[in-house]
Structures are given as C-alpha cells and as structure tokens.
A and B are shown apart, each in its own frame.
Chain A
Amino acid sequence: MHEKTIAELAGDLRSGALSSVELTQAYLGRIRRLDPGLNAFITVSEEQALTAAQAADAIRARGQGGPLTGIPIAHKDIFCTEGIKTSAGSRMLDNFTAPYDAHVVERLKATGTVMLGKTNMDEFAMGSSNETSFFGPVHNPWAAAAVPGGSSGGSAAAVAARLVPGATGTDTGGSIRQPAALCGISGLKPTYGRVSRYGMIAFASSLDQGGPMARTAEDLALLLEAMAGFDRRDSTCVDRPVPCYAAGLGAPLTELTIGLPKEYFGEGLDAQVGDLIHAAIDVLRRLGAQVKDISLPNTHLAVPVYYVIAPAEASSNLSRYDGARYGYRCREPRDLEDMYQRSRGEGFGAEVKRRIMIGTYVLSAGYYDAYYLKAQQVRRMIRDDFVRAFEQVDVILGPTAPTPAFDLGEKTSDPVQMYLSDIYTIAANLAGLPALSIPAGFAAGRPVGLQVIGNFFAEESLLNVGHRYQQETDWHVRVPPGYE
C-alpha cells in the first residue's frame, strides 16, 4: 500500500478496502525498518498517530470526512505541534515541547490527517543539504552518499523512500523545491501569504512560506487546499478564497504560454540537467503549450540579495533565543550577559551563527544603507523582471537546481558554493511568487527537478502543468532501489 498516492489511498479508505489504522501501522513499520539508514525523522509520534488513525476510521465509519481523512503525513520539525518536541533541527530547541499547534498543523488535523512524526531539517531551515541539522544529516534514498537537499531534506527523503505519502515543508530560498528535486518528488512553494506562518518557526519572515511535498502534483493539490487559507494570527496572510485545487487538474494546455528565461540555461547548469529540462519542455509542447524565450535580466543578483535580506531578518528573528524562557540555557551562567552569550553560542550551530553575524553586520549603523536598503532595491528590480515576464507568458520553466544531488561533505567548507545551489529557486521567494518542482528524469542515477514558476496566486495553473506532465511521464512513480 506504500506504493499508492494520497489520491489512491483516499479511494481505498473511502471504499473501506483499507482502514487508517492499517495504513498507519504499515507506514510506522516502514519507518522503524528503513529510517535508521536515512535519518529523515527527528521524532516519530507512534502513539498519537494510532489514536488519530482510530479517530479517522470512526469518522469514515459514519460516512463523513474528506479526501485526507485517515491519510498519514509528516510535518517538518519547524511547525509547532502541541505536546510534541519541535526542534527546528537545533540544539537550541532540542528540549522544546511546543505549547500550541501551527495553523498548518491545525488545518491538517481538522481534515483528519494522521501525523506520523516530525522530519529532519537544516538548523532553523538554514542550509541546502540538511548537513547543518543538530540531529545529523539525512541521506538521499537514491544514493546514500548524496545529500537529500535542504532545508526540508527529511520531508523529501521520507516521501521519496515511501515512509509517508505526503509531508509539509517550508521554503525561504528553495527549501521545498530543491530537496524535492534532489529526491525525485514533487513540491510546491505557494505565493507569499497563501499559507499562514503562525506557529512556523521564523527564519526570514518576508520570504518564509509553508507548502506541501508529495509524489504527485495531484497530491500536492489535495494537501495545499487543506493548508491554505486566511489566518489573522499571521499579519501577512492573505484573505482570499482558496480554490478546490484538485478540481482544476486535467485542463488542456493549448492556451498555455511557457517562458524560458535564457538566464536559467546558461553557465553553471549541468549539461545533463539541461538536456532533461529541454526534454520536459518538449513533452509540454506536444500537449499544445506555446514556448517563448524570455529574459529575467537581474537573475544573477538573486543570491547576493538573498544573502543580505535573509540573514538580516534571521538575526532579528533569532534574537528571541536568549535562554530565559524556553529552549537551551548554558550551565551555571555567571551573570545575565554570560547566560545570553553562552546559551546562544552553544545552542546554535556554525551556519546559524554565521548568518546571525552577517545579519547583525548588514543592519548595523553605517552599513544599513549600503547593504540592506540596497538589497531591498535590487529585490524590487528582480520582482519587476517577473511582473514584466508575466505580461507575455503564463508560466516560467527551468531547472530547479543546477546539478543533481551532490555528495555529503562536498560543499560544507565553502558557504558561498553551498548558497549557489539555490541559484534558480531564490528569485521566486524574493518576488513572492508560487513555484513547483516535479521530477523530470535522472542524471548519473540521481533525480532532476523541473521548476515551474507562476504568477501571484496561480497555484492552480502550476499544479495543472505538473499534473498533465505526470500523466505523460513516469519519473514520479520510480522508486529508489531498496525502498520498493
């Protein structure tokens, strides 16, 4: 049954061919057996999962519930889950039991999903390889020596290895799409403000957005419909009706114009990855889509802009971890200052400390205009490139990542090299646009992702492109050897 998608499992649950308790036990068994080799989970909440599965079966028995009632999922360990450890991949929160549920967690609970546990991640979502986690790196199910991508690497690996049919992730600079690409699954970063950030541990608040990760675009549609929606507890959450995303799937692509930005196919792109993306574009062309060359001239500035804005916001957000009210406190502090400094120095890992220091520096007196204000101006130029492009095209296509999964340890010594693995994903966060990654083949045995960027609130259109592509291809049904 672990071979089935959420949509297929929903049919089995509805017909009574399968109970949620059976399904939950089967997945928990796979996690017990296979996760020791992957390290995709930080916490497995077996007892709570079985209780939730029984409740879901009772709802189904009354003839009630929706498509997600009884479906097992996992949450990235950045979403607060009441009564369950929520670590953000950090020693700082290793002892933190969340006192409340994130909005996304509440919403998915209300639809009857069954949470199996919390997935591993880069510390405070700062990383592109899952190697900054306090709980150790996650291994890519397709190649144990390779990274799963990051920061939502645990969610991506768990879905790819069929330890869970769907999971949540968060995306600040590519943290849903890049691990989805590197693990051969589908992942969607929604429009900024589409999904509430309430209870989602903050990294860079003007960029952070939660979203779904699953094997197919159809499953993403089911999950997004449950996750999206207005929440007044997030001051940037947008009050706008949530469409039935699954109902929009299957529409013809004959009216669709695809833009190919020349900057996404230039220097730095692995040749095999480039070939696979062109092959994917040909599939969509055969389905009737028009293809047009476009330019996003400020693309090369996206990563530098991001590495001013994201650390600046992070240094401010992470100032809350002071060892006073929750989280890690150093042993025997001499005085208050010592408590702050050592709790933070010992509680945060090296990459988080680097970013806090960069953020502190660029926001400090005398440097603010040169770095932060400048970056915000260039951010507008990057967004305006997209606004102009969407006057001519409906979606923008390109690779999700410049290469397939790299090896563990390959990029840990040079932070800038690591940052450049997000070169194609970061611009969508800066512009606030929705973007999808779906599997488009394999290079040297490792998965490659196709990225589809859409206009504001065009998630339906992105999911339809992904769904139509997946009806014509079988990359998304391939299973990593050893996880059949």
Chain B
Amino acid sequence: MPLEPSQVREIAHLARLAIDGNDIPAYAENLSRILNFVEQLNLVATDGVQPLAHPLDMPQRLRADAIEESDQRELFQSIAPATQDGLYLVPKVIE
C-alpha cells in the first residue's frame, strides 16, 4: 500500500519532523518501498504465537524506590542551548 504525500505530512507532523515540501515525494516513495518490503510478514501464520519483547524473556528488574541521583543541574545545564536562573529557556508558550 503506497503512502500518499498527505500521509507523509501527517506522519512527519506526528514525529515532529519539519520536512521540506520538495522532499515529500521522495520520502513517500522510499517509505512506501520499505512498507511494501515488510508487508510480506502478513503472509506468515502467527496464530497463538506470543509476541517476543525480550530475547531472553526476562522481566524488568525492580529496585527500591530510593533517591540515588545527586543534583547535577549545573553540569547538565552547561550543555543546554539556553538557560536562565537554573531553568531551561524555550520559546514563549503562554502569552
């Protein structure tokens, strides 16, 4: 099932990716080719097969709900695009 340019725009929006309008047809073609390739999975009978999420079928480990991290705000903010008074700056959200 080939993807329409409008679907590519919608997916790009869901993924928060700005895509140049001129590039949309090429993405539509490549993404369709990939989806067409993976379609062959639909021919496989999988009734009753448990989906595999972890190759060793291991459950997630739990730990005690205790604070283990120390405050490293200054270190982490030293690589931020914009900060002020210990806060991360982003464009204005509320007028």
Contact = CB atoms under 8 A, between A and B. Distances in A.
A358 to B, nearest CB: 6
Contacts of A358: 31, 34-35
Nearest to B81: A329
Given A97-B79, A99-B76, A326-B80, A383 B92 contact: no
A468 interface: no
Among B17, B80, B90, which residue has the most Cβ atoms of chain A within 10 A? B17
B67 interface: no
Interface residues of A, number: 70
B41 A374 contact: yes
A109 interface: no
Interface stretch (A120-128, A212-220, A300-308): A300-308
A345 B17 contact: yes
A378 B46 CA distance: 7
Contacts of A375: 38, 41
A377 B90 CA distance: 42
B6 interface: no
A329 B81 CA distance: 7
Interface string B63-93: 1000000001001101111100000101111
A192 B79 contact: no
A374 B42 contact: yes
A376 B57 CA distance: 12
Interface string A324-355: 11110100011111111110111010000110
A325 B73 CA distance: 11
B13 to A, nearest CB: 8
A235 B60 CA distance: 6
Contacts of A345: 17-19
Contacts of B91: 333-336, 338-339
B56 A377 contact: no
Contact of A383 (B15, B55, B76, B88): B55
A323 B81 contact: yes
Contact of A416 (B27, B37, B63): B37
A371 B58 CA distance: 23
A232 B63 contact: yes
B22 interface: no
A168 B45 CA distance: 39
A354 B27 contact: yes
Contacts of A236: 54, 58, 60
B53 A206 contact: yes
Interface string A218-247: 000000000000001001101000000000
Interface string A431-452: 1110000000000000000000
A376 B51 contact: yes
Nearest to A98: B79
Nearest to B36: A416
Contact of A344 (B17, B33, B55, B75): B17
Interface of A: 95-97, 99, 192-193, 206, 232, 235-236, 238, 298, 301, 303-305, 307-308, 315, 319, 322-327, 329, 333-342, 344-346, 348, 353-354, 356-358, 360-361, 364, 370-371, 373-381, 383, 414-416, 419, 430-433, 456
